[in-house]
Structures are given as C-alpha cells and as structure tokens.
Amino acid sequence: MTDTALRVAPIAGALGAEVFGADLAGAVSDTLFAELHKAFLDHLVIFLPDQKISPQQLVAFSQRFGEIAPVRFTGPFDMPAVEGFPEIYQITKEPGTTGTNIGGFWHADVTYRDRPNLASIGYLLEAPDYGGDTMYSNLYLAYESLSEGMRALLEGLTAVHSSTMPHAHGVRSAAVSREHAPKAEDGQLQVVSTEADIIETEHPVVRRHPETGRKSLYVNRGFTSRFSGMSVEESLPLLHYLWTHAERPEFTCRYRLARNTVVVWDNRCVLHYALNDYYGQRRVLQRVSVDEPVRPSA
C-alpha cells in the first residue's frame, strides 16, 4: 500500500480496473497521479467511482495526461461544449432518441489524425437505471495472440485511416431496449467526414506503445480504410479478419458507469464500444480527450 492508499481492483482478465481512494476534487499530488498513471498503463482503462468534480477539476485532471485535444467535429458528431469550458464536450442521450449513438461500434478515437488521442477522460453526470455499458478491448492481446507468420506479415504494413469512416456506418448500434426494437434505418448515418475537411493519414498496422514498449494491433472498424499501396477490395478480407480478431470476448471487459464515475482509457492500445441499450432513459457524459505528443510509430 502506498501513502496514497489507492486500491486497484481488476474487473476482467484482459483489461480494466476500478480504482478507489483517489479524490479528484482535491489536490491531485504528483505521488497520487503517478499511482493513477501506473494503474492506467497496467490496466489500459481505469474507473474511479464516486467522484464529485467540477468542469474545472475535470480539465485540470485531464491536463495531467498531456495536451488537451481541440473539439472540432462536424455534424452529426458535433456536440455542445460545456459553457466556459470549450475543452469539454457533452454527450447527451435523451429518452426518446431512436437513432444511433456516437460511439456505437468498435473503434479507437480519431486515428485519422497525425496525432490521434492518447487518452480520453469521461465523467458521467446522469446514468440510466440499467444499460449504457461500454465495452473495451485490449489491442496488445490482439497482436500477441496472432500467429508468428501473421505478425511477420503485418509488421511491415501501414494503413490509411480516414475521417469519412468508410466501413463503419453499417455497423453502428441503434437504440434498443426490451420493449423497443431498432429499425433498419435507425443506425444509418450519411456522413462525408467527422471534421470540416476529409483527413486521411497513414499509421503502422503494428505500433509500439511509447511508454510501455509493448506492440499492439493498430487498425479499427471506425477509421481504417485500407492498407497503404493496396485497394480497398484487396485490403478488406484481411482487415475484416483483424477487426473480428480484436473484438474477441476474451480480450474485452464491459463496465456500467454509475453516476459520478470518471473513466480514463488508453486510446493507443484500446478499442471501445458504447452500447445503446437504454432506450427510454437519459444519459449525460462529459468528455475530454488528450492528444498524443507525436505520431504513432512501429
């Protein structure tokens, strides 16, 4: 036990841990943050229940992880910022919303940017009575469980990531509950780009984590378009295999955020999927994203 008296309780074998004993409304000392950061690197996603923090405290905590990313999404992904805090965007799901939710498919955030998100920090203000879980997947394990031959093939490849999300629109989850079945059109979005301009960037298919040194699989359904130097048609069979492989249940955890819970996940080695299974209930999440300081590298 350290002098911060933190207790770290894993929630699944693959990744994820609850962390108790940290009060983010108080002063987060260097010692406390070092312990939290270690839990973040060790478990990839950490959950801190029973936090009561202001927008200013959410921003201050997020800044400990690095440079806060600007909010620059366009419709239908533009979300209102918290008044006076442009770094925080608020994701609100009203009870009667039948359409798709923003994160309702397996993805890593904004990998089409030169410097994607290092981490995302969420704070749940309002929670449904049931449903609204988020799933996370460990991309270290996705890479390490591939055959030696597949790892050798992927090591030299790069992939194109696009803000148009070319393969994601048909797999988004529409609102559902025991009494509300989604219609086929509910999950469909006509999107040109998540940002004002179409952005395409190449990243290694296998990246090395800059802090842990471990390798991970770095493709996702949300933004990976094709392998560099290959057509979409040539790329899709292998991409589909890798996406499905990375989503294997044994690589994942699932967590229901209660009101006043803070969550932090490592976007460099984690996929996430926000379930949309609470039709008829309201959910409000404030979120801040932190940019990687440099481009991903192999």
List active site positions. 107, 109, 272, 287
Q: Hey, what are 22's tokens?
A: 């940290």
Instruction: Read off the DSSP letter of residue 174.
Output: B
Strands (E), the chain: 7-10, 17-20, 45-48, 81-82, 85-93, 117-126, 134-138, 158-162, 200-204, 206-208, 215-217, 224-227, 252-255, 262-266, 270-274, 283-291
For residue 126, the one-letter residue type is: E
Q: Which residues contact 176 (CB under 8 A, 6 or more apart)?
A: 182, 276, 277, 279
- Determine the Cα–Cα distance for residues 161 and 227; give it in Å rounded to an integer: 9
Classify residue 82 by burial, with Cβ atoms within 10 Å: 0-12, 13-18, 19+. middle
The per-residue DSSP string of 278-295 comes to: -TTS-EEEEEEEEE-SS-
Q: Which tokens belong to 286? A: 């404030």
Query: Considering all CA atoms of the chain, what is the largest pairwise distance in Å, rounded to the nearest integer?
Result: 56
